[in-house]
């Protein structure tokens, strides 16, 4: 239920037209403020109308996965569920975020791991090297995985093998050969050209080891390295799939954040493809992004505009406004302005951070208050002679009335209104109105504790398999 804080009185249901949903919705809430229940409510309504959704969840617990599955089961959507869980491969489908996109998109996806950190010269070296490798991989046309990329960044034998099987009449081949030649030096003992290992290490730094972690890890190694994975984001959106992405933010924060960057970058590619397609998802496809500021990238801001034309709605959720300007994550005031400006709808649950309360109040805006004041006056006077007993007296009586009208600006929602919200309460800020909401509690019916996900096998597909051929970082075969 909603109470309009912009003027009109009374409680009523708040309904948002599907077309307005493509203008996106930014959510903000302190821990325990009711965010999870709200997201489950949105998911419930989306499932009921046959729509698809991606839910990026920062909890990554068995209970959270169970809630998502049971919610889908309640609405006969269990068969549409896909789970990506890098912390537990036994409750996950397979997914490979390296397969879609051209060489530039793949380079950007991998380079997002280091962002703007480190020396610009070495970042440039790594970017050039990654561009040469990704161009060659795309020219060859075989699917590859994190292990293949990691080995290529460390093994001379693997690089020579890539040069051997690459199409020689392409620009990608020539660029890769130039990159390889720049790493070469003459061996003083044999006179042969070999790769200078120090140059190779300086080129990729710790990028290789971070990629290798997704190949050698017990769980993510199984989930993320299939050449024909069960989850493809482009197809998932087209088919209105329900995709749950579990991020182990508490137990493995660095790995979770890095993976989320890969996922969001892959999502960006899928949205760009759909934007240029004749097909658009119907109803509006939802992307719920918990812990958004942890994995947000400056390059993501324009995607909000692309998503709108692809009929895809973003729900980024944050805990504080200042997290959108976190310089350590490469974010800035400009990024915050773009996110706030591109989300026409905003919802806030209880906040504890004074700065966030103040900024959300400013976003809600002000209204003009008309004040009317009236005053009345009355006076009486008597006049007579010098002698008080003189019966001849004169008198007068005066009455007055005045009205003044003044106009002042007042906050529609004051900072303390955000701090004093109770459980289940929220403030919704639309384009033209502000409402105080009472969000209903979603019954998830979690009596069934069986985490049962749809199981199926994909046909085997030949891949690059460099990690299997050159299975050590030293390049031995």
What angle separates helix 120-140 from helix 156-165, to the nearest 10 degrees? 40
Nearest to 212 by CA among 297, 103, 113, 129: 113
Does the pLDDT of residue 370 top 70, yes or no?
A: no
Strands 393-411 and 366-384: antiparallel
Q: How high is the pLDDT of residue 393?
A: 56
- Residue-wise pLDDT for 108-131, tens only, equals 999 888 765 666 777 888 899 999
CA 441-446-452 angle, to 5 degrees, is 135
- Residue-wise pLDDT for 402-427, tens only, equals 777 666 778 899 999 999 999 889 99
DSSP-derived 3-state class of residue 400:
strand
Please give the Cα distance from 86 to 321 (Å, whole number).
29
Q: Are 313 and 280 in contact (CB under 8 A)?
A: no
**pTM passes above 0.95:** no
Longest dimension (CA), the chain: 141
Q: How high is the pLDDT of residue 124?
A: 85
Q: Are 302 and 267 in contact (CB under 8 A)?
A: no
Please give the Cα distance from 116 to 331 (Å, whole number).
10
Mean pLDDT, residues 155-175: 94
The DSSP 8-state label assigned to residue 460 in this structure reads P
- Residue-wise pLDDT for 58-69, tens only, equals 877 888 889 999
- Residue-wise pLDDT for 229-261, tens only, equals 999 999 999 999 999 999 988 778 888 889 999
Q: Please spell the DSSP secondary structure of 339-397, one letter per residue.
A: HHHH--EEEE-----HHHHHHHHHHH-EEEEEEEEEEEEEEEEEEE-SSTT-S-EEEEE
Q: How high is the pLDDT of residue 64?
A: 87
Higher pLDDT, 444 or 325: 325
Least confident of 137-146, 248-257, 271-280: 248-257
- Residue-wise pLDDT for 68-86, tens only, equals 999 999 999 999 999 999 9
Band (pLDDT 50/70/90 cuts) for residue 329 is confident
Does the pLDDT of residue 476 top 50, yes or no?
A: no
Higher pLDDT, 254 or 42: 42
Strand segments, DSSP code E, in 131-276 are 184-186, 193-195, 242-246
Q: Considering the chain, what is the average pLDDT of its residues?
A: 87
Q: How high is the pLDDT of residue 410?
A: 82
């Amino acid at each position: 239920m909603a109470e309009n804080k912009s003027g009109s009185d009374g409680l009523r249901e708040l309904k948002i037209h599907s077309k307005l949903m493509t203008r996106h919705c930014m959510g903000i809430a302190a821990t325990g403020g009711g965010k999870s229940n709200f997201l489950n409510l949105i998911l419930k309504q989306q499932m009921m109308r046959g729509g698809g959704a991606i839910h990026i969840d920062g909890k990554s617990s068995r209970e959270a996965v169970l809630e998502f599955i049971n919610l889908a089961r309640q609405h006969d959507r269990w068969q549409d569920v896909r789970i990506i869980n890098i912390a537990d491969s036994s409750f996950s489908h397979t997914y490979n975020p390296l397969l879609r996109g051209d060489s530039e998109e793949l380079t950007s996806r991998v380079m997002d791991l280091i962002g703007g950190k480190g020396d610009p010269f070495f970042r440039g070296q790594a970017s050039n090297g990654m561009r040469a490798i990704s161009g060659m991989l795309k020219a060859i046309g075989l699917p590859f995985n994190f292990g293949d990329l990691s080995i290529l960044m460390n093994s001379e034998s693997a690089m020579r093998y890539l040069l051997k099987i690459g199409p020689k009449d392409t620009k990608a081949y020539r660029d890769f050969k130039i990159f390889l030649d720049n790493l070469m030096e003459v061996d003083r003992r044999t006179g042969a050209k070999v790769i200078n290992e120090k140059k190779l290490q300086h080129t990729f730094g710790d990028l290789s080891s971070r990629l290798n972690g997704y190949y050698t890890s017990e769980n993510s190694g199984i989930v993320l390295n299939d050449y024909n994975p069960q989850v493809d984001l482009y197809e998932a959106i087209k088919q209105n799939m329900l995709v749950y992405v579990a991020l182990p933010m508490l137990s493995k924060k660095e790995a979770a954040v890095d993976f989320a960057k890969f996922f969001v970058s892959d999502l960006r590619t899928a949205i760009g493809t759909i934007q240029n397609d004749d097909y658009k998802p119907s109803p509006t496809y939802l992307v719920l992004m918990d812990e958004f500021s942890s994995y947000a990238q400056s390059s993501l801001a324009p995607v909000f505009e692309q998503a709108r034309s692809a009929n895809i709605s973003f729900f980024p959720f944050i805990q504080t406004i200042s997290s959108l300007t976190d310089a350590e994550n490469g974010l800035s005031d400009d990024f915050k302005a773009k996110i706030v400006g591109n989300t026409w709808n905003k919802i806030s649950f209880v906040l504890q951070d004074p700065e966030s309360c103040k900024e959300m109040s400013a976003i809600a805006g002000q209204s003009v208050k008309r004040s009317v004041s009236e005053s009345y006056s009355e006076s009486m006077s008597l006049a007579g002679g010098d002698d008080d007993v003189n019966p001849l007296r004169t008198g007068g009586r005066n009455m007055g009335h005045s009205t003044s009208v003044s106009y002042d600006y007042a906050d529609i929602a004051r900072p303390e209104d955000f701090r004093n919200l109770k459980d289940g309460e929220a403030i919704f800020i639309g384009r033209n109105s502000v409402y105080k909401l009472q969000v209903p509690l979603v019954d998830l019916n979690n009596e069934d504790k069986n985490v049962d996900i749809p199981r199926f096998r994909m046909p085997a597909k030949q891949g690059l398999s460099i990690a299997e051929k050159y299975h050590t970082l030293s390049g031995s075969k």
